[in-house]
A and B are shown apart, each in its own frame.
Chain A
Amino acid sequence: MLDDNVVLPVQVAWLIIGAFSLVWLWLGWWLGRKNNNLEDYMLAGRKVGLGFAVATAMATWVTSNTTMTAPQLAYQLGIWGMVGYSLGAVGLILFAPLARRIREIMPNGYTSGDFIRLRYGKTTWRIFLIISLFYSIGWLISLGMAGGLLIEALAGINYHYGMTVIVTICTIYTVFGGLRAVIATDFVQTIIILVGVIILAFLIIQQVGIDTIHARLEQERPMLLNLLLPASIMFLFNNLFFGVGEIFHSNVWWSRAFSFASGVGLKAYVIAGLFWLPIPIVAGFIALAAPALGINVPSPDMVAPLVAGKVLGLLGGVIVFIVVFSALASSLDSVLAATGDLIVRDIYKGHINKNASDDHLRKAAMYIIIGLGVCTWALALLRMATLGSLLHFTGAFVASTIWPIAVGLLYRHGNGRTATLAMVSGTAMGLIAYFTIGFYVAALTSAATSMVIMLFAFRQKNVFDWRALNQPSKIIGENK
């Protein structure tokens, strides 16, 4: 769709892609050598310290959605769109006490599926797996799409080529290095993202000026500055609950809780949330400069790269390219690894090959990650939706899991039937809201429905015995 806004020479783009790909691949290979068993491969030996824990939580949450969808929402929904997106940090902060709790009550756990199965039973577990895998695939597609869009927007390279390269590189180093490689690359990528975003914001404010941006918005797009823009008011808590739902249920965050050393999870998630909070605001602000610069925005999810490229030319293009490429890689590898774990243990080991050994599972994990990469590539080829609409569609699903997980982790009340009903009804109502009102209320409606049902759990007399969560024989594949 783009022709007028290319700022990065094709050779420079390929050079950056090549250089960073080599670094990530080398790290994946080098760190992969230290994996001696399945626990090393899937959970980095359960010994991740605070520094790496903060970095991986933050880098994984700074995704293409932060660097490209936050500007899109600022461009579409104005000031509250930008602020609303930053409320995604609340999910990380609220997960902090749960991360500590998870480590305490399930020291031998591997996946979020382990918890749901032991806490609520097999029916709830299977529904949860459908929701979780649906979300993971949606997230992977949005990341693959973001890679293709970024490269096309900045360098004019065909979407399909750019997307293919990014998905392939991330898949390869995740296969080689497992979670250890994912966390180590996240650390490097966090530093790149933070420094890059700060430099970009500083340069854009310096060159365009806040007064100019405000004046042009007031003249041409007054509703973007209107704090009473109805859709953006509706979006505020929607995004908060979407973020909470994503984090509470996803094995990306549970696998980290299991992999962090004892006592690290609580601090790591709080610090990561606080560091993450300003990033969407800074990224979103970049989008608001588009009208002042007279930039045409063919697709709203490309607004940030277009603005940076227009204002800063080659330098801006290079910085944005590196930042988003790092953000993409840090999330793509994490989702691939964590979704691979979920499929290996909860689907392959749990349903297909119950007697598989650890060595067999480790090989299966590698093949499953490759399969996920291929699946992501094939679906991203279709380029079915904008990033924002694709992502928020999954909000109806994940927000329905918030209450079953929070209640299930902290209270003895609530059984499988209540949790199942909460997830199914929440998802259904969220989808109805998505189609009848808009993407900006899907997660909120889903979470509200689920909450009402789960509150009935406290009226139930039967209570859960926590010891069922900490029995090695009950964990799938755990040595008896």
Chain B
Amino acid sequence: MIKTITMFAILTVLPLSFACANEIVISDDGTSAGYITLSWGKEDGGTYELNEIKDNQSISLYRGMDNAVTLSGLPDGVYHYKLDIDNGEASYNLSVTVKHHSLFRAFMFLTLGAIMFITLIILLFGADKFFTAQYPDQDNIDVG
């Protein structure tokens, strides 16, 4: 069982958790939900600046010694990021496409959830009377 947990974790998350060298990677991919965590390899004493390149302009998102940034609340679109290391000694680029699920799919799941919730409420609080009426010879509650 423990092996199963480890295996699933390795297959799903671990490959994304460690950036190679200083390359910038998506370590938590929520592009269909509007969030991503970008990370990069870390060197002692290194300083990093993450910029978003938009309309040929550079917008600073983070400057400091951390080796990851989580961005969320992103609308649909293609985002270009540039990581500068130690004031431009090296730099890496990454493009990310954010595409949210369709509202149709979202409301399908919402409707499914609502139907299940109502069914559960009926099952827990109301249906014993219904089924007792349907099967009068079977007592649904008493242990006997």
Contacts from A to B (Cβ < 8 Å): 1-4, 75-78, 94, 97-98, 104-105, 130, 133-134, 137-138, 141, 217, 220-225, 228-234, 236-238, 240-241, 244, 296-300, 303, 375, 379, 382-386, 389-390, 393, 402, 406-407, 410-413, 435, 437-438, 440-441, 444, 447-448, 451, 458, 463, 465-467, 469-470
Contact A298 B2 (CB under 8 A): no
Contact B114 A407 (CB under 8 A): no
From B5, B62, B120, contact of A137 by CB (8 A): B5
Residue B69 CB within 8 A of the other chain: yes
Dominant SS among interface residues on chain A: helix
From B4, B73, B105, B110, contact of A221 by CB (8 A): B73
Contact A76 B35 (CB under 8 A): yes
Residue B23 CB within 8 A of the other chain: no
Contacts from B to A (Cβ < 8 Å): 1-2, 4-6, 8-10, 12-14, 17, 28, 30, 32-35, 37, 39, 42, 62, 64-70, 72-75, 100-103, 105-107, 109-110, 112-114, 116-117, 119-121, 123-125, 127-128, 131, 135, 138, 140-144
A412 cross-chain contacts in B, Cβ below 8 A: 138, 140
Contact A237 B123 (CB under 8 A): no
Contact B124 A231 (CB under 8 A): no
Task: Give the residue name and chain of the A residue nearest to B132 (CB).
Answer: A411
User: With A and B bound together, what is the CA distance between A299 and B110 in angstroms?
Assistant: 28
Query: Min CB distance, B5 to chain A, in Å?
Result: 6
From A222, A231, A410, A444, contact of B100 by CB (8 A): A231
A-B contact pairs, 7 of them (CB 8 A): A2-B66, A97-B125, A220-B73, A229-B34, A237-B113, A244-B120, A410-B128
User: With A and B bound together, what is the CA distance between A410 and B103 in angstroms?
Assistant: 37
From B13, B69, B120, B124, contact of A298 by CB (8 A): B69
Most chain B beta carbons < 10 A, residue from A225, A229, A232, A298? A298
Contact B110 A105 (CB under 8 A): no
Take A228-B103, A440-B33 as given contacts and tell me if A1 and B113 are in contact as well, using a CB distance cutoff of 8 Å. no
Contact A297 B70 (CB under 8 A): yes
Query: Min CB distance, A409 to chain B, in Å?
Result: 9
Task: Give the residue name and chain of the B residue nearest to A2 (CB).
Answer: B66
User: With A and B bound together, what is the CA distance between A104 and B141 in angstroms?
Assistant: 10
